[in-house]
Structure 1
Amino acid sequence: MRAEHIRNETPFTLAGADLVACGSGALWWPDRSLMVVSDLHLGKSERMARRGGPMLPPYETQDTLHRLDDEIARRDPRAVICLGDSFDDDAAQGGLTEAEILWLSRLMAGRRWVWIEGNHDPGPVTLGGTHMGELHEPPLTFRHIARDSASGEVSGHYHPKATLNARGRQVSRPCFLYDSDRVILPAFGTYTGGLRSTAPELCGLMRREAMAILTGGFTVEIPMPRGAA
């Protein structure tokens, strides 16, 4: 498949809204000065240790916050929407260090901040901001999990990733998926993994003409890879 765009961000339009898919995994809506991130999964290593799972290096929260800080500094948004699963479970926000709490508070200061409810957590109610099941910001609707009949929808949850054949090798990256109805964001958090775009769950949601925008140091837009028909 041929890459349509190669740069560190890719513009596209959804329901008449001009949006930008950023290489970091954030979504930018310039006309509203609004930035969207999904599936931060802060505290994943702490949650796995607490539940007796495999031990992971305990730096994922700091890494995610560093990248979020960089994107906020670059865009200086008036509003930030976190599209759910901001923490890895209900108890994970209690595992934040004081320094991490202060870090988040600094990022939130002076701007509208919306926590959308996810399936892993209901939103960090002790950290301020606005907590909502979903947000209607016409012409778009922001929620955690896509709905079949929705239009103008911005969601996350699936942690989509896609594979590109490049110079004789396969490159797999987190990606945005979009069509005329919706965009599904990649997971922004570290240690989040991903679901291939060829999975039935994603093929069933996205139209045949859907596109994938691979993230990273530069973005690459390709037709959404699908499994065999």
Structure 2
Amino acid sequence: MATFTLTASKKGNIAEHEYQASLYNGLRPESMPKHVALMFVDGATHGRLKDIARICCQLGIKVLSLNYTLSSPNSDPPREKVDIARNITASDLEDLARVSFIGKRSNISESVLETIREIEERTQNNKSLHVIEAIDYTGRSDIIQACIAVAEKVEQGVMQPDDIDDQIFQNELQTNCSNFPNPDLMIQMGGRFSIHNFMLWQMAYTELYFLHEDDTTQFNDTSFIQALHEYQKRSRRFGGK
């Protein structure tokens, strides 16, 4: 059974911590998702991502995918998202979390690309958690580039059309950087009820969890653990009835 331990970074009253601890300790390790995808609009959630990443490490969740939009019209999405990834892996998670970035890099400035390469190289040997951060990524464009890659291999004689199956195609998707490329659980916050063109192929059998609150700043550790509880209540059928 998982054991909840308060850390110095936790804030709030004792009653809240006790409630969170009871939720945490009630989770079943054998039913834990291997890959969780978080989808949200920017807000105070960013400041809590490190705590959520830490919980993932404690619970044995192997992959945390992040897909979010920045609401400020003057923001530089690639730079801000890279800075957020840097913050997640700082301090006590520096030797635990590996970070990969997916999405088109052709429109990203060289200075940001240099930072991306530095983060990916510095964290590549970390094994506890794999953080996959989407930058200029869409599920449709991922499928298109995978189709092109497979078609090129057929044209080169590397494979025959009849050789193509789910696994071969999945190996060409950008999530091939992970041993667990398909999310088991997707958490959508901000009162939205769609998957917003994110990992369309990979989320064919993903369990979807939607938070009704419009204010994404209310999402915290407890919200994340509640989503895990809801996931463990479900019976996954993987397309079956």
User: Shorter chain as normaliser: what TM range?
Assistant: 0.3 to 0.5
Calculate the TM-score normalised by the size of structure 2: 0.39
Calculate the TM-score normalised by the size of structure 1: 0.41
Q: Could you say which structure has the larger radius of gyration?
A: 2
Structure (1/2) with the larger strand percentage: 1
